[in-house]
Amino acid sequence: MSNSKVRVRFAPSPTGGLHLGGVRTALFNYLFAKQQGGTFVLRVEDTDQTRFVEGAEQYILDCLAWCGITPDEGPHTGGQYAPYRQSERKAIYREYAEKLVAHGHAYYAFDTPEELDAKRKEVPNFQYGHFHRSELRNSISLTTGQVEHLLDAGVPHVIRLKVPEDESVRFNDMIRGDVVFETNQVDDKVLLKADGMPTYHLAVVVDDYLMKITHAFRGEEWLPSAPVHILLWKYLGWAADMPQWAHLPLILKPDGHGKLSKRDGAKFGFPVYAMDWKDQVTGETTPGFREMGFLPEAFINFLGMLGWNPGTDQEIFSLTELVEKFSIERINKSGAKFDFEKAKWYNAEWIKKLSAESLKLKVKAVLEDKGVAIADDELLLKVIETVKDRCTLLTDFYQQSVYFFETPKEYDLNAVKPKWTDTKTDFFGTLITRYAELPNWEATQLEIDFKYLCEETGFKIGDVMLPFRIMLVGGKFGPHVFDIVALLGKEETIIRIEKALVAFTA
RNA sequence: GGCCCGUUCGUCUAGGGGUUAGGACGUUAGAUUUUCAUUCUAGAAACAGGGGUUCGAUUCCCCUACGGGCUACCA
C-alpha cells in the first residue's frame, strides 16, 4: 500500500463468547493502529446465518470496551465505510462474484451437498479443483445452454473460484516472511453461497478493499487460505491495494495439544473468554476473566506478552506503553501455550501497582456482590491499601477484607482452644481495660501497649498474638494485627474481644 | 493422507558463528515478617536428533523426528 493511512480491522463472527485468542488479535490490531496513528475498525463477519447468535455482537463490543481497546469505526459508531456488518452488505458481494464469473475467474456450480459428499467418499483426498471440475455439475462442465436453463429455473447454485493450474502463489507475511503455495493444492473455494451470502473468502477480500484496510492481522489458522485471498485480490484487479498480511501465532492449550478452545476452560480450570458468556439457548454460562477477578490491565498485559516481547526485561506494561513499544518484528512465529499461573501473577502485580483509589470501585463491587455493605469509602480505601499486596485476584479482596466491615461469625477454634487457659482470658480482659483508656488509637501505640502487657503478665507474645488475630479476623490470615486494630477502632475492637472470649471459653 | 507453519529451562521468552546461553512465571532452599502474603537472597532447570558449511555451530543449509494449523455452501 502506498501513501495511505494505516487502517486495520478486527473481524470476529458473532457466534458466541470472545475467546482469548480473539482478544489478542484485536489487541495487536489496536496496538499497531494506535502506534501508526491509524484507524482500528470492527467488522462483524456474520455471513453464516446458521451460526448467528443473538447478543454476541454487543458482548464483543463490551469485551473490547472492558479491555480499553474500543474500535474507531464499527457497527456501534458507524463510519465512512458503513455498514460494518457483512449481512448488511450482502448485495455488494454478488456483484463482485458475477464480475469474476464474467472474467473467467469463477464459475457457477450446481452440485448439491449430497452429491459432493458422495464424491468425497468415492474419491480419496477429493478436491474441487481443476482435476475433478469436469466431473461435476458446473458452468465449466455444462454447456452454456444447460447453465442458462438451470439458472432460469432457479436451481440453487454457488459461485466458485476457478483456481489456476500449475501456478505458485507467493507472498510476504510480515511475521513469517516468504510463504509459497502451489495452486494445484488449492481447491475451488465457494465464494458465494446458495443463500446469496458470501463466504469468508469473498467477503474478507471485498471488504478489506472497500474499507481500505492496509494491514491484515489474523490467526495462523488462516494461513492455508491465504492463496485463495491473494488470487482474489489479483483477479478483482486490486493487487496494488492488497493489505500486508500478518498471521499471528496461535494460543495453545497448556498441554500443547491443539489450539485453546472454549471447552478447555472447564478442563483446565481457568477462563477462556474475556467476560462471562451466557448461552441463551442452553442457559449455560462460560466463565470470563473479568468475573473471575482479573483487571483489564493485567489481562491485556499478559495477552500482549503472549507471542510478542519487547526485547528487554520489562514485563509489566500498560496499554499506553504497549502502544509505544509494540513492533511486528518482535512477534514470534511459534504458538504459545497458555499459562494461567503467569496470568495470575500479572494480575497480582497490577493489583500491587494500582492505587487504592483506582481499585476502589472494583473492590467495592466484589464486596457488595457478596452482600457486604460499604458505608465508609474512606475506610474502604485504607483497607484496600493494607490488604492489596496479598490479593492475586480481585475476588480475593472478599476474604482479605470482609472482617473490616463485619464481625467474624466463625473462628478458627482449632487454632486457639487446645491451648486456651484462664490466664489468657484474664490477659484479654485486662487488654480491654487498657485499650478502653487509650486516648490515641494508633497502630504503634496499640502494639506497644500490647507488648507491655505481655511483659507484665509473663506471656510470650506469640502465645497471645495469634488468638488476638483470630478474635479480630476469625482465622490465621490478614495483615499486621495492629494495623487491623487501628482500622477497626476502639469500640469494635473491644466488642470483638468480648465476643470471641465467649466463643473461646465455651 | 496431502499442503502449510513451527521447534532455546516444565511454561512465556532473550540471544545468535567463539556467551559462565540471560530474564520472567512456576519450583526448591534460606532471610525478613511472632498468621498468611509481600519483599530479599541463593539453587535446580533448555539450544529435538543426524548430516553438512566452518578453525569453530545452539546460531547458517539440508534431512529426519516431533508439535501445530488447514483440508465445509464455518469463520
**Which pairs from A436-444 meet CB under 8 Å and 24+ separation?**
A436/A490, A436/A494, A438/A490, A441/A486, A441/A489, A441/A490, A442/A486, A443/A480, A443/A482, A443/A483, A443/A485, A443/A486, A444/A482
Q: What is the DSSP letter of A419?
A: G
Are A133 and A140 a contacting pair, CB within 8 Å? yes
Strands A277-278 vs A285-286: parallel, antiparallel or unpaired: antiparallel
Q: Which amino acid is at A383?
A: V
Q: What is the DSSP letter of A85?
A: B
Give tens-digit pLDDT for A133-175. 999 999 999 999 999 999 999 999 999 999 999 999 999 999 9
| First-to-last C-alpha distance (Å) of chain A | 81
Q: How many CA atoms lie within 13 A of A137 on its CB side?
A: 18
In chain A, % helix, strand, coil (3-state, to 5) comes to 50, 10, 35
Strands A244-248 vs A39-42: parallel, antiparallel or unpaired: unpaired
Residues in chain A: 506
Question: Can you name the residues that pair with A170 across neighbouring β-strands?
Answer: A180
Place of cell 501497649: A449
**What distance in Å separates the CA atoms of residue A476 and residue A488, rounded to the nearest whole number?**
17
**What distance in Å separates the CA atoms of residue A359 and residue A18, rounded to the nearest whole number?**
25
Measure A310 CA to B16 C1' (Å): 17
Give the closest nucleotide to A48 (alpha carbon vs C1'). B74
Q: Which amino acid is at A390?
A: R
Give the closest nucleotide to A219 (alpha carbon vs C1'). B69
Report how far Cα A189 is from the mean position of its chain's Cα atoms: 31
Are A407 and A503 a contacting pair, CB within 8 Å? no
Residue A157, C-alpha cell as written in the block: 447454485
Q: Does domain A87-248 have CATH number 3.90.730.10?
A: no
Give the closest nucleotide to A349 (alpha carbon vs C1'). B38
pLDDT above 80 (res A2): no
pLDDT above 90 (res A20): yes
Active site residues per annotation of A = 262
Phi then psi dihedrals of residue A336, to 5 deg:
-120, 130
Measure A317 CA to B34 C1' (Å): 37
Per the CATH hierarchy, to which homologous superfamily does domain A7-84+250-340 belong?
HUPs (3.40.50.620)
Closest residue to B34 (CA, C1′): A462
Give the closest nucleotide to A175 (alpha carbon vs C1'). B5
**What distance in Å separates the CA atoms of residue A212 and residue A225, rounded to the nearest whole number?**
21
Fold for A413-505, please state it.
Arc Repressor Mutant, subunit A (1.10.10)
Residue A506 pLDDT grade (very low, low, confident, very high; cuts 50, 70, 90): confident
pLDDT above 60 (res A435): yes
Measure A260 CA to B6 C1' (Å): 17
**What distance in Å separates the CA atoms of residue A366 and residue A374, rounded to the nearest whole number?**
11
The secondary structure element, H or E, covering residue A179 is strand A177-182
Q: Residue A4's pLDDT is what?
A: 73
Q: Residue A1's pLDDT is what?
A: 44
Measure A263 CA to B8 C1' (Å): 31
Summarize the confidence of residues A318-337 as an average pLDDT.
Answer: 97
Give tens-digit pLDDT for A243-273. 999 999 999 999 988 999 999 999 999 999 9
- Domain positions in chain A: 7-84+250-340, 87-248, 356-397, 413-505
Strands A244-248 vs A215-219: parallel, antiparallel or unpaired: parallel
Say what percent of chain A tops pLDDT 90: 97
Give tens-digit pLDDT for A465-503. 999 999 999 999 999 999 999 999 999 999 999 999 999
Closest residue to B7 (CA, C1′): A334
Instruction: Supply the ipTM of this predicted assembly.
Output: 0.96
| Chain B, protein-covered positions (CB within 7 A) | 1-8, 10-15, 23-26, 33-39, 67-75
Are A501 and A431 a contacting pair, CB within 8 Å? no
pLDDT above 70 (res A17): yes
Measure A140 CA to B70 C1' (Å): 27
Rounded CA Rg of chain A: 32
pLDDT above 50 (res A27): yes
| A128-159: b (≥16 Cβ within 10 Å) or e | bbbeebeebbbbbbbeeeebeebeeeeeebbb
pTM for the model: 0.95
